[in-house]
Amino acid sequence: MKDINVSELKAHLSRYLRMASQGIQIVVKDRDEPIAQIGPPLERAVSWRDRMAREGRLHMGSQDWDKLGVSKLDKKINIQESLDAVREEPHEVRRR
């Protein structure tokens, strides 16, 4: 479920139609008042995500990627080394 205002819908119509086609319900608001809802066709309204979530087989995320905020790091981190250490033997941590 995602709330947007009319101007946001006008500006990014194709983006919200894509979200709706993937099963996300879009509630369109006019001055904070819900006036419409966009979602997949009725026969697909219960999406695979809804079904899996209902069955306890999926925890639905917000998928709010426009709100993603990540700060910059001063230091470079080697992801491969980091993951190898936590997936296999954390040698350097054990030595400490």
Partner 1 sequence: MKYVDASAVLRVLFSEEGPFVPMVAGDLLCSSQLIEVETFRAVDRERLIGNLDDETTATKRKELRELLAMLDLVPIDSHVLDRAKNPFPVNVRALDAIHVATAEVIAFEAKIATLEFWTHDNRQATAALCRGLTVRGV
Contact positions vs partner 1 (CB under 8 A): 12, 15-16, 18-19, 22, 48-49, 51-52, 56-73, 75-80, 82-83, 85-88, 90, 92-93, 96
Least distance between partner 1 and beta carbon 4 (Å): 10
Least distance between partner 1 and beta carbon 37 (Å): 17
Q: For residues 52 and 26, is the Cβ–Cβ distance under 8 A?
A: no
Q: Which is nearer to partner 1, 42 or 79 (CB)?
A: 79
CA-nearest of 4, 31, 7 to 19 is 4
Q: Which is nearer to partner 1, 18 or 34 (CB)?
A: 18
- Torsion angle, CA of 34/4/32/68, rounded to 10 degrees? 140
Q: Which is nearer to partner 1, 30 or 89 (CB)?
A: 89
Phi, psi angles (nearest 5°) of residue 25 = -85, 130
Residue with tokens 């006036």: 35
